[in-house]
Amino acid sequence: MKPGVLIFYRIMAYVTAVLLILLCAAMVLKYGHFAGLWDEGSSTQQLGTDWTFRIGVAHGWLYMVYLLVAVVATTQLRVPIGRMLLVLLAGTIPFGAFFAERKVTHWHELRLAGKPLTDSSARTAEESPTS
Q: What is the pLDDT of residue 117?
A: 78
CA distance 59 to 48: 16
pTM summary value: 0.82
Q: Is residue 92 within 8 Å of residue 20, measured between CB atoms? A: yes
Give phi and psi for 93, each to the nearest 5. -115, 125
Q: Indicate the Cα dihedral angle 59, 61, 65, 67, nearest 10°.
A: 70
CA distance 39 to 126: 62
Per-residue model confidence as pLDDT tens for the chain (131 residues): 788 999 999 999 999 999 999 999 999 999 988 878 888 888 989 999 999 999 999 999 999 999 999 999 999 999 999 999 999 999 999 999 999 999 999 999 999 888 887 745 444 444 544 44
Q: What is the pLDDT of residue 120?
A: 53
Q: What is the pLDDT of residue 114?
A: 87
